[in-house]
Amino acid sequence: MIRTFVERFLLVAFAAFLVSVPWVVPVIANKFWVSVIAEILIWSIFAASVNLLFGYVGLLSFGQALFFGFGMYGVGIGIDQLHLSFWSAFAFGVSAAMAMALITGIFAVRLTWHYFAIITIVFSLIFYFLAVRLKPLTGGDDGINFSLPPVFSFGATRYSLTDQTFQYFFILAIFAICFYLMYLVTRSPLGRAFLAIRENDLRASLIGLNVYVLRLIAFVMAGFLAGVSGALFAFFGRYASATYMFYHVSGDGVVWAIVGGAGTLFGPVVGTTLFIFIRELVSTHWEHHSLIVGVMAILVVMLAPKGLVGLWREGLSRIGEQKTSSELNAKARLRSQP
Amino acid sequence: MSAILRTENLTKKFGGLIAVDNFTLSLESGRLHAIIGPNGAGKTTFFNLVSGILPLTSGKVFFGGREITGLKPHEISRLGIKRTLQIKSVFPQMTVAENLWVTRQASQGFLHPFRAATRDTQTRERVDQTLEQIGMTALADRTAGTLSYGDVALLEIGMALISEPKLLLLDEPTCGMSPAETERAVAKIKELARSIDIIIIEHDMEVVFGIASDIIVMTQGAILARGTPQEISNDERVREAYLGRPEDEDYVEEAAHA
């Protein structure tokens, strides 16, 4: 009760803040932080992709960067070489990521735990090296730079991501859609079936769930989220590069999701925000900022296995319990008075 | 009477070990069948073969006239064979009601990806009904992982029931239960047996002889004897192989050696 109330309030406050960012942030900080927040939104979708697999289905993927990279290259190659429009390139990138997730998923979801983690790493490495080698297509390590086609054009008026404020709201809208979809899925019969598989896959198959197909569906859905974030990041940076397919990017996503709280809707947002802020604040003063990330990740995994969101919820329910027990005591005292 | 479950030369080998040896068996509908036998006799392996968890080495399995040899566990489950496991297994981080809920929705084939699970009023009714049936209405919102062992076993039976099974395989349902819980579970099983075909593996002889009308005795992967409780309790071979010799005979023997 107290938890739903406080969390609803926070959610509304958070949404209000996100909407006001382009006007408020330049005043209280500077314009640079608007694009940092846009970047956080993009990477949160990526962390959500790890979270969908690990937090809801129980599959720890260290290869989500592969689908991020496909989303990114889909947009880059789509615009630069196929001369697609904005939306076609977006759709091309996301479909490429989902198709890749389907193909690799057919092999990967036969396995679980460390075997699954290893095969996802292997797949992402294979395609990383392929992307580095296929220079004419991918630009290798240098990547592809491209200029942005307009998002909408009504006659003479054109909306393009080159407008900072428009770009921010575009990213925010996609972020909101992705998390709303994720919210719907997690409370649907399909989401419950995912949880059942995470909890006990043998029992799940005995109640009639096709564990293999459901894991594959989850894997393709996670490919969708990673693909969307990769495509957005390509639009945001106006380039695509093989470096974003490296497994170190996948590892970042895993750390963000787990530290924030795997198995919770907004855990990945919390984790991503925290680590990108640390990176932006510290990296200008100290080049070894990833040490802080490492220490924090270890601390959270040891002290709060359900992540920061889990820690917060535990705290809230403790407050709730104290409150109800003190209320009960007060009532008891009232009753005992003559 | 038609056979609900029939096996032909069912065999399972684990390397050199023959766990189930050329098992030909026909179980009629309408009776409560019990499988007993010493540890390692192949009882649970038999259940694992029927429910598709283990691939069989050779032989055939028929369920109500339909061959189910080689089908996947979820396919067999959807045909109407539900089972409980020897080591009680539910979804520990979900509540009792959610456990039943997901089990019910799993049997429906299509899992809606976007509509809220709780909006399914038909399932809600069925969950409430089942909670009442297994006497766990008061525990509906408890996390399954925090239940007592007996309650987990009851929940498992509830999960088997909620999707209206045709055949229920119960693997040691009263194992680890307190006497009071055993009594409750036995009453429940007896009641269920009136409408559902049940095959039960059980070590507690009091339970078996109290509820079964047909007893199959297994040793070393094969059928040693089969019959009504009375026939089985009078069978000399069964007594020796499984129930052991009466204590007073040992006593006489010891006395003779002394």
Q: Helices A2-28 and A307-336, interaxial angle, to 10°?
A: 130
Closest approach of chain A CAs to the CA of B58, in angstroms? 22
pLDDT values of chain A reduced to their tens digit, one per residue, 338 residues: 667 788 888 889 988 888 888 888 888 888 888 889 999 999 999 999 999 999 999 899 898 999 999 999 999 999 888 888 889 999 999 999 999 999 999 998 888 888 888 899 899 889 888 888 887 787 777 788 877 877 777 777 777 777 788 889 999 999 999 999 999 999 888 999 999 999 988 888 888 888 999 999 999 999 999 999 999 999 998 888 888 888 888 988 988 898 888 888 898 999 999 888 888 888 777 777 778 888 888 888 888 778 888 888 888 777 766 666 665 565 555 554 44
**Percent of chain B topping pLDDT 90:** 2
Please indicate, yes or no, if residue A1 is contained in any of the structural domains.
Answer: yes
Residues 171-210 of A with CB under 8 A from B: 181, 184-185, 187-193, 195-196, 199-200, 202-210
Helices of type H across A109-238: 113-133, 135-138, 164-186, 189-199, 201-206, 211-237
Is the pLDDT at B3 greater than 70? The verdict is yes
Please indicate, yes or no, if residue A221 is contained in any of the structural domains.
Answer: yes
Do A2 and A135 fall within a single domain?
no
Do A66 and A202 fall within a single domain?
yes
First to last CA, chain A: 33
Do A8 and A114 fall within a single domain?
no
- What is the span of the domain harbouring residue A15? 1-28
Is the pLDDT at B244 greater than 70? The verdict is no
Given A212, A246, A280, the domain boundary residue is A246
**pLDDT value at residue A48:** 95
Do A124 and A242 fall within a single domain?
yes
- For domain B3-90+166-257, which CATH number applies: 3.40.50.300, 3.40.50.10420, 3.10.20.30, 3.40.50.150? 3.40.50.300
Do A60 and A170 fall within a single domain?
yes
Please indicate, yes or no, if residue A266 is contained in any of the structural domains.
Answer: no
Given A246, A276, A304, the domain boundary residue is A246
Do A51 and A8 fall within a single domain?
no
Closest approach of chain B CAs to the CA of A17, in angstroms? 27
**pLDDT value at residue B242:** 63
* Residue B1 · residue B197 · CB < 8 Å: no
Residues of B with CB under 8 A from a CB of A: 51, 53, 72-74, 77-78, 82-83, 85, 89-94, 98, 101-103, 105-108, 111-118, 120, 159, 163
Do A161 and A13 fall within a single domain?
no
Please indicate, yes or no, if residue A146 is contained in any of the structural domains.
Answer: yes
Given A190, A203, A209, which is nearest B89 (Cβ)? A203
ipTM: 0.80
Please indicate, yes or no, if residue A115 is contained in any of the structural domains.
Answer: yes
Please indicate, yes or no, if residue A167 is contained in any of the structural domains.
Answer: yes
Do A144 and A231 fall within a single domain?
yes
Please indicate, yes or no, if residue A60 is contained in any of the structural domains.
Answer: yes
Cross-strand pairs, B214: B33
Domain spans of chain B? 3-90+166-257
Given A246, A276, A307, the domain boundary residue is A246
CA-CA distance, A168 to A165, in Å (whole number)?
5
User: Strand B81-83 vs strand B167-171: parallel, antiparallel, or unpaired?
Assistant: parallel
Measure the CA dihedral A143/A147/A152/A155, to 10°. Answer: -160
Closest approach of chain B CAs to the CA of A259, in angstroms? 20
Closest chain A residue to the Cα of B75, Cα to Cα: A208
pLDDT in tens, B5-50: 888 888 888 888 888 888 888 888 888 898 888 888 888 888 889 8
Structural domain total, chain A: 2
Please indicate, yes or no, if residue A70 is contained in any of the structural domains.
Answer: yes
Do A107 and A10 fall within a single domain?
no
Do A72 and A216 fall within a single domain?
yes
